[in-house]
Structures are given as C-alpha cells and as structure tokens.
Structure 1
Amino acid sequence: MTRKRLIVVGGDAAGMSAASQMRRLDRDREIVVFERGPHTSYAACGIPYFVAGLIEKPDALIARTPETFRERYAIDARTLQEVTAIDVRGRTVQIEDRREGRAYAMDYDDLLIATGALPFVPDVPSIDAEGVFGVNTLESAIALRRFLENRQPRKAVVVGGGYIGLEMAEALNCHRGLSVALVERAPQVMGTLDPDMAALVGEAIRDVGITLRLGETLSAVETDDQGRVRAVVTDRGTVEADLVVLGLGVRPNTALAADAGLSLGVRGAIRVDDRMATPTEGIWTAGDCAETFHLVSRQPFHVALGTVANKMGRVAGINLAGGEARFPGVVGTAVSKICKYEVARTGLLEAEATKFGLDFTMATVKTRTRAGYYPGAGRIHVKLLAEKGTGRLLGGQIVGVEGAAKRIDVLAACLHGRMTVQNLVDMDLSYAPPFSPVWDPVQVAARALLKEV
C-alpha cells in the first residue's frame, strides 16, 4: 500500500510547525518539505538582535536543522529547493533544485502552502548596490552582519519606520554605534499606532540620537565608482550613507498560489477557513501568506507575525492528521523596542474603528511603570479605545520604558474575551512596588475611559 504524501512548501515557522504537529499524530504519513533557502525553522524575530551583536552565532536562532527533521522526525526537509508551480488538477508540484540546477516534479495527496511573506523593495535606481540590505531571512542577516564586521560602516540610513525599521535602527545605533538616519515617507513612524502615540515613538527615536526624517520618499541610491552605496536621495534631499537597510514591511508571498488559481483575500493573502483549509480540495495554507480573521472588527484580516504563523501551523498539522482544531483569529497584538523605549498595540486604531462604523471614545493617561517612590520607575503612556454605550474595549496602545510593553497582554486578553472597560477596572491584577503602582497603568487608563463610555 502506497503511503499518502503531504508536501509542505516553505520550511519556516508555519510549515515546520504543521509538519512537526502532523508527525506527532501520524507516524506513517510521508512528509516532504521544500524550502528555497538554506535554513529551516529559525527565529526570524531574533534577526535584529543577531545583527546588533547581542546574539553571537546565527545557529542560536535555528530551532531545528534539516538534518534534525530528517533523522529525528522522519520529515524529509529539503533546502535550496524551490517549488515553482502547482498543478491543482494533477496534484503535482514542480521543483527547482537550486543547488544542482535541475528541475523535477512530485505528486501530493495534501499540499500545505507556507510561503511566508516578501519584503517591499522600492523600484529606484541602484537599489541593488553593494551596501544595501534587506533583512527578511537569516541568510540576509548573516550577510549584513558580515558587512558590519568587515567594512566597519559609520553612517547608516534605515528606510521605513515600521517594526522592522525601528528594530534595525536600534541594532545599528544603540548597539553598533553607527550614526543612523531613519527615512519614512509617512508623516509618522509606525502606521500601526494612532498619530498621537506614534508621535511619542518619534520623540523616543530622536531622544536616543537617531535622525528622524518623516514625510520623505526614497527616490534613488547613490554609489561611488566601485558601485558601493554612498548616499540615499529622497524627494527632500540627500543623506550620506555607507550602509542602507530596507525596513519597508512585507506582503504575503502568494504568487505561486495565485498562478495555481487559488482564491486570494485581504492584501492578496490566501483565503482560508479556520481549519487552515483553502476552498481548493487538498490544499491548505498557514503563516504569513494566509488570511486570518480579526476578532474585534469581525472582518478578514492579514498580519505577518511569528506567533500567528506557529499557531496556524499547529492547527493545520492537527487537521491534516485527521484531528479537529480551529484557529479563531487574532486581535493584532504586537510589541517592539527602540533602545530603552517599548511600544505595544492591540485591537483597533481610531481610523479602523471609524472605518468599521463604530461609535467609540478614547482616553490616554501618563503614569509610572512602578510605584513612584521605587527606584527605576519610568514613564508609561496608555491609550484605550472603547465602544460608546456598551463599554466594550476596542483596542489599546502603550509607549513607555522598561516594563511597559508586556502590559498589552492584559488588553489582548480582554479583547479575546469581549470584555468591557468596567471589566478591566474590576480585574484582580497583581501589585508590588517593583512592578506597578497600586493601580496598574492599564487600569488607570480604564478608569479614565469609564467616564466617557
């Protein structure tokens, strides 16, 4: 009897989580994973800290090597193998062996697409010059770190003011000691925050010595006679640089799925149900390439986060093994750090609440991370949004120093439970002077918001 075969396209968070979970539940199924890069199952979120030098060796970011998957889990993980086409009717995939330069085909019974996301790369002159780096893979991070150590650049420009851009600016400025300018075409950094909270992040960026250039669009990269970067040109001037890092965000990597005729949804992500099954029989998807559902707006949604990818992969693996699991959705929780400052958000922004026709109000408070008399107490700003009338919490944002960001998890839990502002005020949260004031900052904000709802 021929064993049924699962093919997984993509060997990182979602793909390997699904393959591993399926193997735990089904010892007999043949599992083949194709990964176009040289690494499997690595912590992409740790890349900025590897670049910063806080993590010494890239191997520390690798959870399991292809050899481990093959020898310990009987998962045939093949690196430098790119799936180039899917034949839905014939249930086959075409593969290009990037190591040997040959092409071949393989049939499947089930197919999991976990192709992740691709970075935005602006179409401007000399964007591929020596000294210009994207940092979306471990391979690219290793190349950037090698450049930093061998070339010893002094001036860097980071293009993009989202999570990736901020974390790379921190790595280069706070840890590597480079002079850093951050160029962002929007009028604020972090489009995932409301403008007033993003302004606090902007102040924090300037406070650590990073030059912030808002409302500027990259138009070209200038090079010297040897083709090495020497400056970036924007619509408002020229900025000297011997290193450029692109941190413009990512988009779902779904060209393969689209070419195969699969249905796409929000931001071009692959449409999928809560079991991670696509409308096409035998094809599943998970991770940054997959659409999900926002539990507050109750609308289809897309987010590229390792936490979400791992959970999606686990759900897909259980269902592929014949079990029953569902991925309910997300509330858009994320945290980041820029030197000593921490940033967090969850739920809806003002613009999103307005877009979905919600009648809402908000409150913002400034208080302390610890009891005011305790050493090390620092500033924390908390902003909450709630629905008028019902008092249902809709979202929250936090900007502060050490101890600020992880408080967002309390708000995320409230959103998952569809709790009200009064529920948040009534929660029995912990207290001791080294950790918070008597009233935790999220509850101080909730009390202020309670007056409005």
Structure 2
Amino acid sequence: MSDPFVVVGADAAGLSAASKFRREAPDREVVVFEKGRWISYAFCGMPYFVEGRVERMSDLLSLSPSEVDERGIDLRRGHEVVTVDPEAKTVAVETADGDSFEQPYDDLLVATGARATTGPFDARGVDGAFTLHDMDAAAAIDAYVAEPDAYDPARADVSAVDRERVERNAAMPAPETAAIVGGGYVGVEMAEALAGRGLDVHVFHRSGHLLSDFGEAVGERVAEELGAKGVTVHTNAPVEALVGDDRIEAVTFGGDADGEGAETLPVDLAVVGVGIRPNTELLDGTGVELGEGGAILTDGHGRTSLSDVYAAGDCATAFHAVTGEPAWMPLGLTANRAGRAIGATVAGDPTPVGDIAGTAVVKAFDMEAGRVGLVGDDAARDAGFDPVRETVTAGSRSGYYPGAAETDVTLVADRDSGRLIGGSIVGPDRAAIRIDTLATALEADMTVPEVERLDLAYAPPFSPVWDPVLVAAKVLNGTLGEA
C-alpha cells in the first residue's frame, strides 16, 4: 500500500472517515492516530450511564480496536500528533512510551475534537469536581456517587478505563448534594442523572433561562420540570468559585463583579459544563485559517486552507444552512456525516459534508425540547435578517385522545422575505422529534406560508388535525401579513 491517508483522532469523524475510505480505496493505506486509549464512543450517552439507564460502559462503544483492525485500518492508540508540516506533508508523532517519529501523508484529516472548559476556576485536582467530556470522567463520576460498599466495578467494563481513578473515587463517601455549573445540554442531562441517583441537585446558570440556545420558552418549561422533580434551578447566578482544598466543599455564586453579595452553597459534588474549546494546537504555526470559536475553517468538502489537509467534527466549522456562512456547532451527526463524506472525497468521490443548522434535542425528565436555526433575535440580526417571532401552545394529539399534552412552538421568520429561519419546540409528548420538520423546512429555504401548507400526518394518537408546527406557522404567517 502507498499514498497514506492519515487521520488524527479515533472518534466519530475520524473513524467514519477511515472506514469509508477503506471501503472505497482498498489499495491505499489508512493510519489513524489516537492520543488516548478510548475510541468510537457515544459522548451523548454518558449522562445516561451515570444515571444507570445504561448498565455497562461497553454499551456506549460503537467500535472496538479489534473491529477497527478487521476493517483494515492501522489504528495506533497512545500516539499523539503534536505538529503538522504541510510543506513536507508529514506529522510528528509522540507515543505514550516516550518515542517519537515522523509519519508522511498524502492526505491528512484532523479530527481532534474538543475539550471541556471550566470558566474562571479549575476543576482539576479537587476530589468531587468533574467535567464530563470523556469516558474516564463518566466512569469516575459513576463510582463517586455510589456508596463504597455498593459500587459495581463491572459497570466500567472496558479495558481502556482509568482503573486507578475509578477505584479512588469509588472509595470515597457518597455525596449528598451536587452543583451543576452550566445549564446547557450537559447541565440539564446531568441534573436528571444525579437526581436519579438520589442526590440533592442544584443547577447554576449565568443567564436568565436554561438552555440559552433554545430560547426563553424552552428554558422556562425545562426549569419548571426540573423544579417539579426536586432539582433547584438558579438562573442569573454565575458560579464564582469552587471551594475546597482536597475535596469539593462548596460553591460560591451570584456575586457582582467585585464578588460582593455572593452566596455559598455547601456541596460534595460539582460537575462543570460551561463549554468546550476545539483542539487545534497541532496546527499551530502552519498558517491554517480558523473560524468561529477558534475552530478550523473548512469548505463544503471539509478542506482546510492547507493543501491536502481536511478537518471534521468538533474541531471544525461547516456552512450554516440559514446564513450560508461558516459556523461552529459541535454535534454528533455533524461529525459522523462530515467524516464519512471526507473519507469518500479522499478516496476519489468528491462528497459534500452537508450544511448544518444546529438541530438539537434534549430531555429533562418528562420534558422534551428541540431547536434549529436562528432562534435568538440577536443571532438573526447579526446574520442580516429582520426577525419576527411567535410562540404558540397547542395540543400534541387530539384533545380527546389520552396522553395529549401542551406543546409550545416558537417560530422565527425574516420579515422581508417571509423565510423561516429558526424555531424551537418543548413539551412532554413527543415534542423533540417534531423539530425535524422544522430542520427540513430550513434546509429547503421554505417560507412560513409554505410551512403552513405542509401536508403533515394526522391521526388522533399522533397529532391533532392541525399539528402544533402548522398552528405556529399559521399564527406567524398572520403576523407577517400585518407587517
């Protein structure tokens, strides 16, 4: 084999690309370097493992190293790519054993993902303080929240687990009170998970409503649901510090810029989920162009500004379906889809990675929520639109059919063109899946009148005659007509 395709990162984008490439170009070599030992795991499933809904950590793995080997992929774990030389077309690699070497490439994919940020404080080195952005953290949290004599080590049934870290956390007294720092996806999902493990859970969010990217209507109903299930929600309450030397003892929150007026809550567990940052350091000094959030700027086929170098997943941008501009929205489908497309392109079949719209769903106990496109007015105006919005409440099924529940739908349109540019949905009865209708409408550049005329399915167990999406479009269309 020759003309190596080198992939950096062995998770969603990287192994999707390598697998597709191997099928399409069996005569070329493909080498995948992975800094750690974990590969191809379901990041989005980790809160459900902590909660106990997922019984074994191995259930979150898509591919094992042996399965990757069977595909003819040269996977090398414990190998970190530290620099890239685009002129020589080589990467410098350091191994976990301290060795180093250079690997030539014909084509290179950077799929290095992202890492958790912790805001103004450092959660490392303090027992009971965690970020949740890798499987070792999930295993450690799961061990920490269990009573020492009740922990089941068989739950962390993958050889890649940091066993020493798990055993250390399993030996500590089980916590009673948890602080979730950040009310985004991870924060909401972990609030449910930890409440399910019997903890007194407090969620702290910097802004006025949870799930800021979903809009106010979603944030308010999710907060109500969390409160109804015993979770205390603190909005407009940025956490200023984690208190504790060896083990977390408290969090301070809600003070002004000088720290005046801050409150203190004793806790013995803290999960920090305030954001992520793309891993792009290996391209420092190459002159690669970066985009939103410091992510690697790519074109419609995943190419970077460097010749024969591609990027995909949580470290890369893609084009936004509404604005047409590069955007950074690190989500699971985006990574898998882009990796597969790049694998095909490198193998000789140019394949677009596809646009993104930030389509996302989240669950909070019995409440479901979804969002897509430009939900906030500021984001819409920054993109050059004049946003008009309406929020309606409609039944999820025919009113006489058991299980019908109130569903809130927010639609956002451009005043001049009538084009649908964003929306969100929240409710307890199959609300989240309805966001796919809006995502499809955005991809098709549909106007609000066109959405109103969609022939959506009706039967009493599934929807009223007028689906909540159609009701919202009808109301918003009337507002646009009055403008």
Quick one: distance in 1 between partners of 2:297 and 2:451?
A: 34
Secondary structure class of the residue paired with 2:237: coil
Are 1:210 and 2:231 an aligned pair? yes
Stretch moving more, 384-393 or 11-20: 384-393
Q: Choose from 147, 153, 160 the match for 2:175.
A: 153
Distance 1:127 1:337, change over 3 A: same
Question: For 1:26-425, what aligned pairs fall within 5 Å after superposition?
Answer: 26-70=25-69, 72-98=70-96, 100-124=97-121, 127-149=124-146, 150=170, 151-173=173-195, 175-223=196-244, 227-234=246-253, 235=255, 236-349=262-375, 350-425=377-452
Cα deviation digits, residues 197-251 of structure 1 (max 9, x gap): 4223322222222111122222222226xx1112112232111111111111212
Quick one: distance in 2 between partners of 1:274 and 1:185?
A: 35
Cα deviation for residue 328 of structure 1 reads: 3.3
Distance 1:128 1:188, change over 3 A: farther
Paired residue type of 1:137: D
Quick one: distance in 2 between partners of 1:239 and 1:270?
A: 39
Instruction: Say whether the 8 Å CA contact 1:125–1:219 is kept in structure 2.
Output: no
Instruction: Say whether the 8 Å CA contact 2:129–2:271 is kept in structure 1.
Output: yes
Instruction: Say whether the 8 Å CA contact 2:9–2:113 is kept in structure 1.
Output: yes
Paired residue type of 1:294: H
Instruction: Say whether the 8 Å CA contact 2:83–2:284 is kept in structure 1.
Output: no
Cα deviation for residue 346 of structure 1 reads: 0.5
Secondary structure class of the residue paired with 1:434: coil
Instruction: Say whether the 8 Å CA contact 2:297–2:326 is kept in structure 1.
Output: no
For the aligned residues, what is the CA RMSD? 1.5
Secondary structure class of the residue paired with 1:284: strand
Instruction: Say whether the 8 Å CA contact 1:365–1:382 is kept in structure 2.
Output: yes
Quick one: distance in 2 between partners of 1:124 and 1:312?
A: 34
Quick one: distance in 1 between partners of 2:392 and 2:470?
A: 10
Cα deviation digits, residues 312-332 of structure 1 (max 9, x gap): 101100011011111231111
Quick one: distance in 1 between partners of 2:392 and 2:87?
A: 58
Percentage of matched positions with identical amino acids: 41
Cα deviation for residue 178 of structure 1 reads: 1.0
Paired residue type of 1:106: Q
Cα deviation digits, residues 236-291 of structure 1 (max 9, x gap): 21111111111112122112223433111111111111111112112111111111
Distance 1:270 1:385, change over 3 A: same
Distance 1:168 1:357, change over 3 A: same
Instruction: Say whether the 8 Å CA contact 1:39–1:65 is kept in structure 2.
Output: no
Instruction: Say whether the 8 Å CA contact 1:126–1:220 is kept in structure 2.
Output: no
Count matched residues. 447
Query: What TM-score comes out, normalization by structure 2 length?
Result: 0.89
Aligned to 1:431: 458
Cα deviation for residue 359 of structure 1 reads: 2.3
Cα deviation for residue 182 of structure 1 reads: 0.6
Cα deviation for residue 126 of structure 1 reads: 6.1
Q: Structure 2: which 5+ runs fail to align? A: 147-169, 256-261
Cα deviation for residue 171 of structure 1 reads: 0.8
Query: What TM-score comes out, normalization by structure 1 length?
Result: 0.95
Quick one: distance in 1 between partners of 2:309 and 2:122?
A: 39
Cα deviation for residue 69 of structure 1 reads: 0.7
